[in-house]
Chain A
Amino acid sequence: MKHNFFGGVHPRDKKSLSRDVAIAPLSEPPVQVIIPMAMHVGEPCTPLVSPGDTVCVGQKIGSTEHLGVSVHASVSGTVTAVELRPHPDGEPVVSVVIGNDFLDTPVAEPESRNVQQLSQQELLDIVREAGIVELDGAGIPIHVKLTGAAGKVDTVIVSGAECDPYLTANYRLMTEQGSKILGGAQLICRMLDVPKATIGVEAGHMDVVQSLRRLAQESGGAEVRPLRVRYPQGGEKQLVQTLTGRQVPPYKLPEDVGCAVFSVGTAAAVYDAVYEGKPLTHRVVTVTGEAIQKPANFWVPIGTPMEHLLREAGGCSGEPECVLTGGAMTGLPQQDLSAPVTKQVNSLVVLPADVCARTVQEPVCIRCGRCVEVCPMHLLPLYIHLYASHGRFRETERFHVADCMECGSCTYNCPGGVPLVQSVRATKHRLRFAARQER
């Protein structure tokens, strides 16, 4: 059975820049790490340490009683400050700053547990304590996702799709730590009472598909499926559609059609937490782009300042136009490079001016319909833009503006340089604002 999602675009993926560079630890660990208390959807954590305290790797330094997960120290050393620090998402966030003692003292020897005998609830508790969030995407705490999906789900999808150009973090992870990913996928399946996980890997990475298939044959419990190379294949709804043929209804989640989607990084983190007792303190970050001297994939302690990572990759060549966290399609431009790597930062992409899309002074819609042809959510972006640019925000609801997943395919493909996805975001913001005022 073969399914597909409608539309999508195919930008040049530029993955060859960092594709063949193995994941390496930082040659020079950061002098200090800045660990924000908000790296997940929900309430920020309350810091559990104060300046002067000594901390070890994996020690819990922040926790919350509400929606959210704990935060752990990623290096050992002394807490130098607990204060507002810049955050890649924009606004400054209360962060714990740790001066590194370069010893990496672990918090305690992990107790050996018999994983096979753990109950579902015990597994869930381990995952929550380990501070695991969805590593690609908005950062939903994984235990929230698991509890929400429990009992509703018949398919567990582990996504190796990295549709955004430049990113190779997941590709490297799948090549080097395939068994961990499979192990984590099996644990997730156990928590959700699903016999088998479906691992989706882009067809451009057939080497990974084959190696994962070999591993899956040995251990059983996972099916590896190649996916069409097309942006936004990594979107949750698109993955569900491609792998199962089901469409997630408007305002619903994948679990409402019996699917739960996790990224490969998350699966590996679950494996680490359960089998090795390690909380989420490190992650893979791709540092790449035409303006980077030595593109690479790093195993980075969370909280490492971005400028340190750029130095590790040989620094920038020429005049970089922008530094993005995330790929070139949906990446967030960074202004303050002293901001740290959080749990969601999967890459730093540094682009020179000639690669970046130019802002068109006088964008003209010629109604070519290229935005309609590529919209994976079956929308008419040009009409949303038309109504929004005349201030008629209410009427855009007729065009289901809320369905837009903001993948940016329309703006990418627009020959007239019309800021379509920007219009959609502005419209959504206006509508939310209006709804709040009505209430």
Chain B
Amino acid sequence: MNQEITSTANKSEQPVLPARHFPHISAPMKTRHIMLDVVISLIPSVAVAVYFYGLRALTVTLMSVLLCVVFEFLYRFWLKKPSSIGDLSAVVTGLLLALCLPAAAPYWMVAVGDFFAIIVVKQLFGGLGKNFMNPALAARAFLYSFPALTAVGSASGGWFWKGIWSSVGTASSETPMALMQSGKLPSQSLSQMLFGQHGGSMGETCAAALLLGGLYLIFRGIINLRIPSCYIATVAVLTFLFPLGGNDRLLWMTYELLGGSLLLGAFFMATDYVTSPVTRGGQVLYAIGCGGLTVLLRYFGAYPEGVYFAIILMNTAVWLLDQIRPRRFGAPRFDAWKKRLSVFRKEKGG
């Protein structure tokens, strides 16, 4: 489409201009490198999940990644579109979806999730950059509609090969988030919450591993602190102000921050480029919205964890949030707002 425009523009301008166009150099960071960095930053979390849940965590993750790539390849192949698996975005989706699932999730469910993420959420809308929701999160939300998954709870397959094939529905202890929704502090100590505990999805296991990955992304310049910090700060403030069940404010807040998928969501999901605003103001509002919805859903929602739904809800508001544009260069402060107001006044008067 764009090439069409350029060619017609050139036709009426001057045909002498060669096809090469400035700038003649480009920054070394390409889409593939960005995605690779995200994959690298998720490795600690996967490693911790494997340590805690055994080889099954690894097989679930690998299968999820593989299926995402295969689905993406097949879809593009059948529609005779250029293959897009080289940009590694399917790998990231597969990894993130796996980390949202418990290690004991049945394999067929992983497959259904991958299919939904790649085909329905991503490719049907036009592939990378066009989806309006984070594919992994949308798939995770879609999987909530299967009661089988909620029954899985948290299960440990053990360190044996047997664990890979072990049946679903091993004795499930209540996850920390489920306890906290009813206003009780979980039995795990704070250091357990930070460095790893059983229960919940694979990505919820170890807050420290998630922080490590998040710091790597910030250090590499892949994400900036704006979204994660505003998101976490909003959750911190709200949980500090309104602790459930008469618990100690500070303790409650810390458990809320370390528990569940908050860190996974704040560093890896809410910062997803495609489904987050590009303007500074938009990003701040988006993150605050994510935080507010997370606490709301955690306190009053039907499921113990609200992060996934909070983020995909805010994903749908991105187009609106991007309307908060930077101030026009050279224009006086609040000029755009004054103009909008003056139009409003005129309409009122006329």
Residues of A within 8 A of B (CB): 9, 11, 90-91, 165, 237, 247-250, 252, 322, 324, 328-333, 335, 351, 355-359, 361-369, 372, 376-380, 382-383, 385, 388-391, 399-400, 403, 408-409, 411-417, 419, 421-423, 425-427, 429-430, 433
Which residues B80-134 have CB closer than 8 A to chain A?
A: 82, 84, 87, 89, 127-129
Which residues B245-261 have CB closer than 8 A to chain A?
A: none
Q: Is the CB of B129 within 8 A of A324?
A: no
The interface-forming segment of B40-48, B163-171, B262-270, B326-334 is B326-334
Q: Which residue of B lies closest to A376 (CB)?
A: B329
Given contacts A388-B2, A412-B27, contact A364 B16 (CB under 8 A): no
CA distance A417 to B87 in the complex (A): 12
Given contacts A403-B329, A433-B12, contact A9 B24 (CB under 8 A): no
Q: Is the CB of A380 within 8 A of B322?
A: yes
Q: Please, could you name 29 A-B residue pairs with CB atoms under 8 Å apart, sorted by A? A: A11-B27, A91-B14, A91-B16, A322-B24, A329-B25, A333-B20, A333-B24, A355-B25, A362-B84, A364-B31, A364-B129, A365-B129, A366-B273, A367-B276, A367-B278, A368-B273, A368-B278, A369-B278, A369-B279, A380-B278, A389-B5, A408-B22, A412-B23, A414-B27, A415-B27, A415-B30, A419-B2, A422-B6, A430-B5
Least CB distance from B129 to A in Å reads 5
Residues of B within 8 A of A (CB): 1-2, 5-6, 9, 12-14, 16-27, 29-31, 33-34, 82, 84, 87, 89, 127-129, 273-279, 322, 325-331
Q: Is the CB of B27 within 8 A of A250?
A: no
CA distance A430 to B322 in the complex (A): 25
Q: Is the CB of A426 within 8 A of B9?
A: yes
Q: Which residue of B lies closest to A408 (CB)?
A: B23
Q: Is the CB of B129 within 8 A of A322?
A: no
Which residues of A sit under 8 angstroms from B21, Cβ to Cβ? 419, 421-422
Which residues of A sit under 8 angstroms from B24, Cβ to Cβ? 322, 324, 328-329, 331, 333, 351, 356-357
Which residues of A sit under 8 angstroms from B18, Cβ to Cβ? 322, 333, 335
Q: Is the CB of A378 within 8 A of B9?
A: no
Least CB distance from B302 to A in Å reads 31
Which residues of A sit under 8 angstroms from B23, Cβ to Cβ? 328-330, 357, 408-409, 411-412, 421
**Main SS at interface, chain B:** loop
Q: Which of B6, B273, B278, B326 has the most CB of A within 10 A?
A: B278
Cross-chain pair count, CB within 8 angstroms: 166
Q: Which residue of A lies closest to B15 (CB)?
A: A90
Closest 8 CB pairs of A and B: A369-B278, A357-B26, A408-B23, A249-B330, A247-B330, A378-B326, A368-B273, A426-B9
Given contacts A413-B27, A421-B22, contact A90 B14 (CB under 8 A): yes
CA distance A388 to B277 in the complex (A): 20
B329: contacting residue among A11, A363, A372, A378, CB under 8 A: A378
Q: Is the CB of A430 within 8 A of B9?
A: yes
Which residues of A sit under 8 angstroms from B276, Cβ to Cβ? 367
Q: Is the CB of B1 within 8 A of A390?
A: yes
Q: Is the CB of A367 within 8 A of B12?
A: no
Q: Which residue of B lies closest to A324 (CB)?
A: B24
CA distance A77 to B330 in the complex (A): 51
CA distance A429 to B279 in the complex (A): 26
Least CB distance from A64 to B in Å reads 23
Least CB distance from A49 to B in Å reads 27
Q: Is the CB of B25 within 8 A of A165?
A: yes
